[in-house]
Amino acid sequence: MEQRMITIYCLIEEFLKGVMEKEEHKLSEISDSEVLFLGYLAVNDFNGNYSKAHYYGMGMKLVNEVEYSRFTRRIIQLEEEIEQLFVFLSDLFIKLNGLQIYSVDSFPVELCQIQREKRSKLWRDISLKGYNASKKKYFYGFKVHMVVTTNQEPVSYYISEGSMHDTTASYKFLPNLPKNSIVIGDKGYISGKLESFLAKFGIELSALKRKNMQQDPAHKVKRKIRKGVETAFSVITAKFGKVIRATSIRGFLVKLKLFLLAYSIDRFFKLSVAHQQLAFN
């Protein structure tokens, strides 16, 4: 446990100071690395509960003393750093993915229960009402659209309103994949228009066929590969608890991005030491 915390903190600090070349304010009572480290602990070990992570961090003297309210303000201010660290790790995962085969899918993140949508204090917008096809029910919140490698490593994500269709969101982030990539999606990604669009970037979209369509000889292989993205989603959402708690919509989205980053960090430490070192070479 202690060794894991040290290595994760070192990764965060090396990225912020070495890669982003961030300089701390001279009067800052706690560094950005320490704040982001506490944020990681909150989403990875305490189901996103900032209060418990802060209490644990202060009690164990893992970081410098900081008031809870200041910590919560600082973590929101690090939204860009959270996004950039995810991208930094994604670049490494892409570099190591020699097959260039990826899986794409989405999962819902509820802002509140659908019955309470009209009383939501964070954000009320009809565009947040979406349909979860796998559970056959409506939800109120956002969708996380994500691409992972065959080793379940996340390389890209896009957060949309719950009502946005998977194919519509795909135009936003799938073109960022490397040329000659193959992306496997479920039946919801069947779209000749999207397929032609991605082909312009040298990316092949290979969606699972519907039952009334011509059989695909590679169907079983694709299904097996797609289990990777399903497993990734299970791991990420298992950390949420029942719901992501926040006092503002920005705070909600920053915490959601922290959950995604925490999963990316955990996948990074499953790489061999030699591969981990490539990130900073």
Query: Do residues 111 and 210 both lie within one domain?
Result: yes
Residues 6+ apart with CB under 8 A from 27: none
pLDDT at 170 over 60: yes
Asked whether residue 232 is domain-assigned, the answer is: yes
Do 40 and 154 lie in a common domain? no
* Total domains, the chain: 2
In this structure, of 95-99, 103-107, 223-227, 259-263, the range with the lowest mean pLDDT score is 223-227
Give the CATH number for residue 113: 3.30.420
Q: What is the pLDDT of residues 43-87, one digit of tens each?
A: 999 999 999 999 999 999 999 999 999 999 999 999 999 999 999
Report residue 214's pLDDT band, with 50, 70 and 90 as the boundaries: low
- Pick from 18, 46, 77: which residue ends a domain? 77
The DSSP call for residue 239 is T
Residue 262 lies in a domain: no
* 214-222: long-range contacts, CB 8 A cutoff, minimum separation 24: 222/184
Q: Are residues 71 and 155 in the same domain?
A: no
Based on the domain organization, do 67 and 151 belong to the same domain? no
With a cut of 70, say whether residue 25 has pLDDT above it. Answer: no
* Domain match, 23 and 156 both: no
If asked whether residues 103 and 240 sit together in one domain, one would say yes
Decide: residue 203, CB within 10 A, 0-12 exposed, 13-18 middle, 19+ buried.
Answer: buried
Give the domain extent around 68: 2-77
In this structure, the answer to whether residues 108 and 144 fall within a common structural domain is yes
Whether the per-residue pLDDT at 1 is higher than 70: the answer is no
* pTM above threshold 0.75: yes
Give the whole-angstrom CA distance, residue 15 versus residue 9.
10
pLDDT band (50, 70, 90) for residue 89: very high
42 domain-assigned: yes
